[in-house]
Amino acid sequence: MGKYIVAGNWKMNKLPSETYDYVKEVVEATKGSNCEVVCCTPYVCLAPAIEAAKGTHVKIGAENLHFEDKGAYTGEVSADMLVDLGVQYVIIGHSERREYNNETDETVNLKTKKALEKGLIPIVCVGESLEQREAGITMDLIAIQIKKAFADISAEDAKKVVIAYEPIWAIGTGKTATSDQAEEVCGGIRKILADLYCEKCSLEFTIQYGGSMNPGNAAELMAKPNIDGGLIGGASLVAENFAAITKSC
Residues at the contact surface with ligand PEP, assessed by CB under 6 A: 9, 166, 171-172, 210-213, 231-235
Angle subtended at Cα 137 by Cα 235 and Cα 186, rounded to the nearest 5 degrees: 45
Of 36, 96, 166, 183, catalytic: 166
Q: Which of 181, 187, 218 is nearest to 6 (CA)?
A: 218
Of 66, 94, 96, 128, catalytic: 94
Q: How far apart are CA 168 and CA 201, in angstroms?
A: 27
Q: Within 10 Å of residue 11's Cβ, how many Cβ atoms?
A: 19
Residue nearest to ligand PEP (CB): 233
Q: Least distance (Å) from ligand PEP to the CB of residue 160?
A: 20
Q: Is 94 a catalytic residue?
A: yes
Q: Least distance (Å) from ligand PEP to the CB of residue 234?
A: 3
Q: Least distance (Å) from ligand PEP to the CB of residue 70?
A: 29
Q: List b or e across 64-100, with b for residues whose CB sees 16 or more CB atoms inside 10 angstroms.
A: bbbbeeeeeeeeebbbebbbeeebbbbbbbbbbbbee
Phi, psi of 8 (to 5 degrees): -90, 140
Q: Least distance (Å) from ligand PEP to the CB of residue 154?
A: 27
Strands 58-62 and 5-9, by their bridges, are: unpaired
Residue 40 or residue 146: which is nearer to ligand PEP going by CB?
A: 40
Phi, psi of 146 (to 5 degrees): -70, -45
Residue 26 or residue 197: which is nearer to ligand PEP going by CB?
A: 26
User: What distance, in Å, lies between the first and last C-alpha atoms of the chain?
Assistant: 12
Residue 41 or residue 212: which is nearer to ligand PEP going by CB?
A: 212
Residue 62 or residue 202: which is nearer to ligand PEP going by CB?
A: 62
Q: Is 166 a catalytic residue?
A: yes
Q: Which residues are catalytic?
A: 94, 166
